């Protein structure tokens, strides 16, 4: 049980006096945010030092992920604990209060200092992440636009936008045997047929497969069976690339989910240790003994 502060120098608690020492809260929050920044920078440096662009050198991705989670927890515990302790130690001393009320106020001061520091850090992180995401979105848009332009190029190569009717237009002029056309036109027809097959689950319709094999045989001097085998091989490669892209996207989604969950756990730990440290700091604050200078007092009286 926390004893009531009854020293003569304690501040008298009036009914209309605020129970929140905002100066102590902001001081603890500033300390927590600054310490978090220092520890994050240190962790980033250690992470870069542990990685290597060379194969089979440096830490693995799994080791880096685990170490990042551990460092995030340590950062929150140390920074939030220090901020909470300062908020509890620097708060105004309360007199004529029951021990349970002092206990609650100390805990609240630690929690509020943690909350303010998280808000400040969140604003900074969101601002920095917004710039990074904006740059990434521009780069991704450029890549997608380039891929779409290549996939939807027409015979003269002047088209920069995907033509959803290109495949059906090709079917209007399809004959029993492919006509001799330019290389760009043949590549455009083949691209649209392959794109149609990938969109349908990685399989070509028999007519499309036969026509594409004839087109390949015409331009490569392969036999029809050899051209069909090449078509199947290329289609399998494209399908494998699509599967790998989906697997990469799934892995990125799982990593993002686990990162969010562990960040949530780290923040909860930070709130708990900030409140606990504020309680400890408040107790230390209440146990301070004010020593009077007897010699100075005696000289003044004389």
183 in a domain, yes or no? yes
Nearest one of 257, 269, 264, 261 to 75, comparing CA atoms: 269
Helix (H, G, I), strand (E, B) or coil at 201: coil
Q: What length is written for the chain?
A: 302
pLDDT at 43: 86
Residue with tokens 């408040």: 282
- pLDDT per residue, tens digit, the chain (302 aa), is 444 444 444 444 445 566 788 888 999 999 998 898 888 888 888 888 887 777 777 777 778 888 888 898 999 999 999 999 999 888 877 766 667 788 888 899 899 999 999 888 878 766 655 565 555 555 555 544 444 444 444 334 434 345 667 776 676 667 666 767 677 777 788 888 888 877 777 778 888 888 888 888 877 878 888 888 888 888 888 888 888 888 888 888 888 888 889 889 999 999 999 999 998 988 888 776 666 655 554 554 44
Is 27 contained in some domain? no
Question: For residue 131, what pLDDT is reported?
Answer: 61
* CB distance 83 to 270 below 8 Å: no
What is the structure's pLDDT at 28?
92
Residue 224's domain comprises 166-243
- How far is Cα 256 from Cα 127, in angstroms, rounded to an integer? 19
Distance of CA 192 to the CA centre of its chain: 37
109 in any annotated domain: no
For residue 224, is it within any domain?
yes
**DSSP string of 171-237?**
HHT--SSPPP--HHHHHHHHHHHHHHHHHTTS---HHHHHHHHHHHHHHH---HHHHHHHHHHHHHH
pLDDT value of residue 292:
63
- Predicted pLDDT at 291: 65
Q: Which residues contact 97 (CB under 8 A, 6 or more apart)?
A: 4, 5, 13, 105
Evaluate whether residue 205 is within a structural domain: yes
pTM greater than 0.95: no
For residue 226, what pLDDT is reported?
85
Domain count for the chain: 1
**Does residue 211 belong to any structural domain of this protein?**
yes
Q: How does DSSP assign 129-177, residue by residue?
A: HHHHHHHHHHHHHHHHHHHHHHHT--TTS---S--TTHHHHHHHT--SS
Phi, psi of 11 (to 5 degrees): -80, 130
Whether the CB-CB separation of 278 and 106 falls below 8 Å is answered with yes
- The owner of tokens 């009320």 is 101
For the chain, report the end-to-end CA distance as a whole number of angstroms.
Answer: 44
**Residue 154 within any structural domain of the chain:** no
Q: Strand, helix or coil at 55?
A: coil
Contacts for 105 with CB less than 8 Å, ≥ 6 apart = 19, 91, 94, 97, 282
The answer to whether position 59 is within a domain reads: no
The CA–CA distances, whole Å, from 123 to 5, 102, 126, 272 equal 38, 32, 5, 22
pLDDT of 173 reads 61
**pLDDT number for residue 229:** 86
């Amino acid at each position: 049980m926390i004893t009531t502060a009854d020293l003569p120098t304690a501040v008298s608690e009036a009914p209309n006096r605020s129970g929140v020492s905002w100066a102590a809260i902001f001081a603890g929050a500033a300390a927590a945010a600054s310490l978090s920044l220092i520890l994050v920078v240190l962790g980033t440096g250690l992470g870069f030092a542990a990685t290597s662009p060379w194969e089979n050198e440096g830490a693995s991705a799994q080791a880096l992920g685990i170490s990042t989670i551990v460092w995030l927890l340590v950062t929150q515990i140390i920074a939030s604990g220090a901020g909470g302790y300062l908020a509890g130690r620097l708060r105004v001393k309360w007199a004529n209060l029951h021990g349970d009320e002092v206990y609650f106020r100390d805990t609240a001061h630690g929690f509020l200092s943690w909350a303010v520091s998280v808000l400040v850090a969140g604003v900074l992180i969101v601002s920095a992440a917004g710039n990074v995401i904006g740059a990434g979105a521009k780069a991704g848009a450029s890549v997608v636009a380039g891929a779409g332009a290549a996939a939807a190029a027409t015979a003269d190569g002047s088209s920069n936008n995907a033509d959803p009717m290109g495949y059906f237009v090709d079917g209007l002029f399809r004959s029993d045997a492919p006509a001799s056309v330019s290389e760009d036109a043949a590549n455009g027809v083949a691209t649209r047929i392959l794109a149609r097959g990938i969109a349908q689950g990685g399989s070509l319709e028999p007519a499309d497969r036969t026509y594409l094999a004839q087109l390949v045989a015409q331009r490569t001097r392969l036999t029809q069976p050899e051209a069909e085998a090449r078509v199947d091989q290329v289609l399998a490669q494209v399908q494998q690339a699509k599967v790998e892209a989906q697997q990469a996207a799934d892995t990125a989604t799982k990593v993002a989910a686990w990162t969010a969950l562990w960040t949530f756990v780290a923040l909860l730990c930070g709130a708990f240790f900030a409140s606990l440290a504020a309680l400890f700091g408040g107790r230390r604050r209440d146990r301070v003994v004010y020593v009077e200078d007897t010699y100075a007092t005696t000289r003044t009286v004389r």
